[in-house]
């Protein structure tokens, strides 16, 4: 069975890894839209357009299930993708919410990019489930992770800057609403002692149980739309596998925004 | 006289401001390519393509001089732009280098995005001028500035993380090779006490003396290729002016990278 996974960049590789751990035999195709990362500060219309293009690329490769491994794209584009694609579409928002509903005693924190928080997608679903929600954007977390600053004094101070309010307010559960954030889970857990941390990438993989059969060759293809210096290093850092990424589009094709 | 200024995003507004301060009467047109920011981690081919598109947009608006207010674009695309455009083209790299050559006693530090540092454009010109150069990428500075964290403990610790080596090595001059960095000048000056800080935006404005006549209506038009939440706030924060930015392209037009 062939499963497609896309993200605006490298963060969705945490989801790819969680899916691979749960389904060792399926064939995985990953697309990271590194030419246009980050989606987190784009307008909703732009995020929808980019998401449809990513999905189209994966459909051409014969995928039978699509996983949106990007919270911003899941927040803005999942309805449009479900409407337009002939295969099941799974986002990262709903699985994370279900896990939070399962473990929370009433007050949930959500962190993510500006766009994810502004979209209100987590807040709406959690409130519908009768939970109290406090959401906060943490725009410095992604650059910290991509710079490899995931432990130490700076990481801890930045985590405190964004999350100390949650301690004061007293949430019992925190949803990591961005696929980069699991790499900061160590520091976040120490700052928010006793708070249940929901890692959406694991929640998504569990959610695929009803949709995906663990059959196939166990292959993994990884595509990016632009090359940054560190792609090989980051792919290995996040997935723990040596996968040679393939470059598509990018430098060779026009994409005028005017 | 109409002068066009482009950058990958909002950082080039520091250059726009410096030019306006020096030439109160010219007409300025700014384009921030916020749909595809940041250029700093794109491939050289992609940066050249994006730069040509930005220049084309400004040429259609009748500019008589083009300023590349982006270090990454200046590093990779200035030769291509000079070749293809029928108007004078000024980048940010050469003016900054000239200023450093004027003030340094021999050992210069350069900081910028990964792409700017990797391009070697500053290093090459400074070495040709007989100076010793130490260059370093500071990928966390742009997100810090855009998050408004330009003073305080976190800003200082991040600045120290990247710049402490310069103290040890003993540079006498530091070029801020990214248009966002002037907003961190206060902290940088404190960390690197006694080091001469070269702010390229001011160097560019001075460099226009031979090219630009201070004539016109004194108008400022500001365009962006995508809307982020904070454009109005950031424009006012950097320029000190209330300018209503105009959105071009973005959501409405296709730009498939595949």
Distance CA A64, CA A90 (A): 12
Q: Please say whether the beta carbons of B163 and B189 come within 8 A.
A: no
Strand-pair partners of B65: B3
**B45 with A256: Cβ contact below 8 A:** no
- The topology (CATH level 3) of B93-200 is Rossmann fold (3.40.50)
Q: Please name the residue of chain A whose CA is at the shortest distance from the CA of residue B156.
A: A154
**Which residue's structure tokens are 């997935």?**
A239
**A251 with B33: Cβ contact below 8 A:** no
Q: Which residues from A are below 8 Å from B51, CB to CB?
A: none
Residues of chain A with CATH 3.40.50.1860: 2-91+204-252, 93-200
- Phi then psi for B93, rounded to 5 degrees? -70, -55
Query: CA of B152 to nearest chain A CA: how many angstroms apart?
Result: 11
Q: Please name the residue of chain A whose CA is at the shortest distance from the CA of residue B223.
A: A258
Q: Suggest the residue from B144, B156, B164, B255 to mutate for an interface test with chain A (most A CBs closer than 10 A).
A: B255
Classify residue A37 as left (phi > 0), alpha (psi -120 to 50) or beta: beta
**Which residue's structure tokens are 């960095």?**
B181
Between A43, A49, A226, which is nearest B42 by CB?
A226
Q: Which residues from A are below 8 Å from B227, CB to CB?
A: 43
Distance CA B220, CA A54 (A): 37
Helices (H) and strands (E) in chain A, counts: 11, 10
Q: Which residues from B are below 8 Å from A144, CB to CB?
A: 140
pLDDT value of residue A253:
38
Query: CA of B247 to nearest chain A CA: how many angstroms apart?
Result: 10
Query: CA of B208 to nearest chain A CA: how many angstroms apart?
Result: 28
pLDDT value of residue B230:
75
Catalytic residue among B65, B73, B174, B178: B178
Q: Which CATH number fits domain A2-91+204-252: 3.50.50.60, 3.30.559.10, 3.40.50.1860, 3.30.450.20?
A: 3.40.50.1860
Provide the edge-to-edge strand list for the sheet that holds A132-137.
A132-137, A107-112, A173-176, A196-199
Q: Which residues from B are below 8 Å from A251, CB to CB?
A: 43, 45-46, 49
CB pairs under 8 A between A and B: 123
Compute the C-alpha angle B164/B176/B102, nearest 5°. 105
Q: In chain B, what is the straight-line distance between the N-terminal and C-terminal CA atoms, in Å?
A: 40
Rounded CA Rg of chain B: 17
Distance CA A207, CA A215 (A): 17
Output the pTM of the full model: 0.83
For residue A194, what are its two tokens?
A: 């006793």
Distance CA A246, CA A31 (A): 9
Instruction: Tell me which residue of A190, A154, A113, A139 sits closest to B161, measured CA to CA.
Output: A154
The set of residues, in sequence order, having a beta carbon less than 8 Å from that of B224 and lying 6+ positions away, is: B31, B32, B33, B34, B35, B231, B245, B246, B247, B248, B250
Q: In chain A, which residue ranges form alpha helices assigned H by DSSP?
A: 13-22, 44-60, 71-84, 93-103, 114-119, 121-128, 141-146, 153-169, 185-191, 200-207, 231-239
Q: Please name the residue of chain B whose CA is at the shortest distance from the CA of residue A140.
A: B143
pLDDT value of residue B114:
84
pLDDT value of residue B256:
41
Q: Which residues from B are below 8 Å from A11, CB to CB?
A: none
Between A142, A149, A226, which is nearest B43 by CB?
A226
Q: pLDDT tens track of chain B, all 258 residues? A: 999 999 999 999 999 999 999 999 999 999 999 888 878 777 888 899 999 999 999 999 999 999 999 998 998 999 999 999 999 999 999 999 999 999 999 999 999 988 789 889 999 999 999 999 999 999 999 999 888 899 999 999 999 999 999 999 999 999 999 999 998 999 999 999 999 999 989 999 999 998 999 999 999 999 999 876 578 878 887 888 888 889 887 433 334 444
Catalytic residue among B55, B66, B68, B70: B70
User: Catalytic residue positions of A?
Assistant: 70, 178
pLDDT value of residue B58:
97
Between B114, B157, B258, which is nearest A153 by CB?
B157
Query: CA of A214 to nearest chain B CA: how many angstroms apart?
Result: 30
**B249 with A258: Cβ contact below 8 A:** yes
**B248 with A255: Cβ contact below 8 A:** no
Q: Taking the CA atoms of A178, B225, B72 and B222 in sequence, report the sign of the dihedral they define.
A: negative
Query: CA of A247 to nearest chain B CA: how many angstroms apart?
Result: 10
Please give the C-alpha separations between residue B10 and each of A128, A160, B14, B97, B228, in angstroms, as whole numbers: 38, 28, 8, 23, 11
Q: pLDDT tens track of chain A, all 258 residues? A: 999 999 999 999 999 999 999 999 999 999 999 888 878 777 888 899 999 999 999 999 999 999 999 998 998 999 999 999 999 999 999 999 999 999 999 999 999 988 789 889 999 999 999 999 999 999 999 999 888 899 999 999 999 999 999 999 999 999 999 999 998 999 999 999 999 999 989 999 999 998 999 999 999 999 999 876 578 878 887 888 888 899 887 433 334 444
For residue B175, what are its two tokens?
A: 């070029």
Q: Which residues from B are below 8 Å from A4, CB to CB?
A: none
For residue A120, what are its two tokens?
A: 């209100």
For residue A60, what are its two tokens?
A: 């051409």
Please provide the DSSP assignment of A227-244 as one string. --TTHHHHHHHHHSS---
């Amino acid at each position: 069975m062939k499963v497609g996974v896309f993200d605006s960049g490298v963060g969705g590789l945490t989801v790819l890894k969680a899916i691979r751990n749960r389904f060792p035999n399926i064939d995985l195709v990953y697309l990271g839209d590194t030419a246009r990362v980050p989606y987190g500060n784009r307008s909703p219309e732009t995020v929808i357009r980019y998401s449809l293009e990513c999905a189209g690329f994966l459909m051409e490769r014969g995928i039978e299930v699509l996983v949106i491994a990007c919270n911003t794209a899941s927040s803005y584009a999942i309805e449009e993708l479900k409407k337009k694609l002939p295969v099941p579409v799974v986002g990262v928002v709903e699985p994370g919410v279900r896990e939070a509903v399962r473990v929370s005693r009433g007050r949930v924190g959500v962190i993510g990019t500006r766009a994810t928080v502004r979209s209100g997608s987590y807040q709406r679903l959690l409130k519908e489930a009768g939970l109290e929600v406090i959401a906060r954007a943490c725009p410095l977390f992604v650059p910290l992770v991509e710079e490899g600053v995931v432990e130490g004094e700076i990481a801890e101070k930045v985590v405190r800057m964004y999350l100390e309010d949650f301690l004061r307010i007293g949430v019992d559960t925190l949803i990591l609403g961005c696929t980069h954030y699991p790499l900061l889970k160590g520091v976040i857990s120490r700052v928010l002692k006793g708070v249940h941390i929901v890692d959406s990438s694991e929640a998504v993989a569990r959610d695929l149980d009803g949709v995906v059969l663990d059959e196939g060759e166990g292959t993994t293809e990884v595509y990016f739309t632009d090359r940054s210096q560190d792609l090989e290093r980051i792919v290995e850092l996040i997935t723990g596998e040596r996968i040679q990424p393939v470059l598509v589009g990018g430098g060779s094709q026009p994409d005028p925004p005017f």
